[in-house]
Structure 1
Amino acid sequence: MDGIIFDIDGTLWDSTDPVAASWNQAIRENSSLDLTIDAGTLSGLFGKTMTEIGNILFPGMPEEEKERLLTICMEQENLYLEDHPGIFYNGVIETIKKLAEKYPLFIVSNCQCGYIEVTVRSGGLESYIRDHLCFGETQVPKGQTLRMLMDRNGLKDPVYVGDTQGDADACREAGIPFIFAEYGFGDVPDAERRIRSFSDLCGMFL
């Protein structure tokens, strides 16, 4: 194994409450929609691309207006998270620091540009995450984004840690092993490798 790649939402942290707050503010101030988003709604959407989330939350809205509102929501989200960060799961910060002593660590997410940077800064993890890539940069499915990150870092045999069936499918497309974070938002019944807490990765790889 020559690297570990992480998902963010449902794997490293839970940001559903602050993200819901930021999106609700953006929607109130920039649209006439009678819509309130809660953390439960977001937990079922995290893992999808931002385009998919926009289509689910704003069905029937003209594409140009949907794109405008989605962009505002994402920008508001990044700004809000700087002062109201998500909650890292138990053991995440300590485990990443330990794993980084032996392996190069990376992040791939279906999020917008800027979100990974906010997450990493919030945890003081800038010196431990070697590289990252997101849907906002690539505009392609996660399996392809994984391959792009692998190619530019010369990775031949990494693993990916995530929490949804979409993550598992992306790993299958990219041809790399998947480790299912059972404590996250999704369910992957057929996952062969699982962790019940993030710190389980120490026992698995150290």
Structure 2
Amino acid sequence: MDSIIFDLDGTLWDSREAIAISWNQVFEGLEEGSFSITKEDLTAMMGLQIDEIGEKLLPQLPAAKRKELLDQCSQVENEYLVENGGILYPEVENVLASLAERYKLFIVSNCQEGYIEAFLKYYGLQKYIQDFENPGRTGLLKGENIKLVMDRNNLAAPVYVGDTEKDREAAELAEIPFVYAEYGFGKVQNADYTIKSFSDLTNLFQRKT
């Protein structure tokens, strides 16, 4: 194993409340009627691409209007996260610092462009993450983005760490092992490895060296 690729939501942090706050700022006073979302509404959406989220949350709107609204939500969300952050899971920075001494670290998340950057900037974690990718920049599925990161960084033996079945499927598409973050938002069967907290990665990857 030479590298670790991380999912973001449900793996490194929980941004649901911050997203709900920022999106509700956009939803207030819309001509089409007043909408609002809660942290609980977002739970089942975490890990989906933005257009999939829009179809589930705002099915009553025409596709063009939904895209326009979600683009605005994404921009406001990124700005809010840069200033306010989300909830970083315990020991994330300490574990990343330890792992970065032995492995190359990356992030691949189903998010808009600017979202991963907001996460890294708020917590000052840029020094640990060598590269990242998302469909907002490439238009690709998560598994394809994992392969893209693997190819451009010449990774020979990475693993992917995530918290949903879609994350497991993405790792399978990329033909790499999957580590299930059980503390996150999803339920996964048949993961290669399972962790109950982020700090479990330290012992898991020590065993794999």
- How does the TM-score come out when normalised to structure 2? 0.95
In 2, Cα distance between equivalents of 1:135 and 1:61: 23
In 1, Cα distance between equivalents of 2:116 and 2:94: 18
Aligned to 1:88: 88
1:189 shift after superposition: 2.4
In 1, Cα distance between equivalents of 2:30 and 2:146: 34
User: Partner amino acid for 1:183?
Assistant: Y
Aligned to 2:76: 76
Aligned to 1:178: 178
User: Partner amino acid for 1:22?
Assistant: S
Task: Report the aligned-residue RMSD.
Answer: 1.1
1:121 shift after superposition: 1.3
Say if 1:30 and 1:69, in contact at 8 Å, map to a contact too. no
Q: Which runs of 5+ in 1 are unaligned?
A: none
Aligned to 1:98: 98
Total equivalences in the alignment? 206
Say if 2:177 and 2:192, in contact at 8 Å, map to a contact too. no
Say if 2:111 and 2:136, in contact at 8 Å, map to a contact too. yes
Q: Equivalences for 1:1-206 in 2 at 5 Å?
A: 1-206=1-206
Say if 1:143 and 1:171, in contact at 8 Å, map to a contact too. yes
Q: Using the TM superposition, name which of 173-182 and 186-195 deviates more.
A: 186-195
User: Partner amino acid for 1:83?
Assistant: E
- 3-state DSSP of counterpart to 1:26: helix
1:167 shift after superposition: 0.2
Q: Residue deviations 1:91-113, cap 9 Å, x none?
A: 11100010001101000000000
Say if 1:10 and 1:163, in contact at 8 Å, map to a contact too. yes
Give me the identity figure in percent. 47
Say if 1:16 and 1:42, in contact at 8 Å, map to a contact too. yes
- 3-state DSSP of counterpart to 1:59: coil
1:2 shift after superposition: 1.4
Say if 1:6 and 1:107, in contact at 8 Å, map to a contact too. yes
When residues 28 and 89 of structure 1 are mapped into structure 2, their CA distance, relative to the original with a 3 A threshold, is same
Say if 1:158 and 1:177, in contact at 8 Å, map to a contact too. yes
When residues 52 and 114 of structure 1 are mapped into structure 2, their CA distance, relative to the original with a 3 A threshold, is same
Tell me which stretches of 4 or more aligned residues in structure 1 moved more than 6 Å.
Answer: none
- 3-state DSSP of counterpart to 2:28: helix
1:29 shift after superposition: 4.5
User: Partner amino acid for 1:130?
Assistant: Q
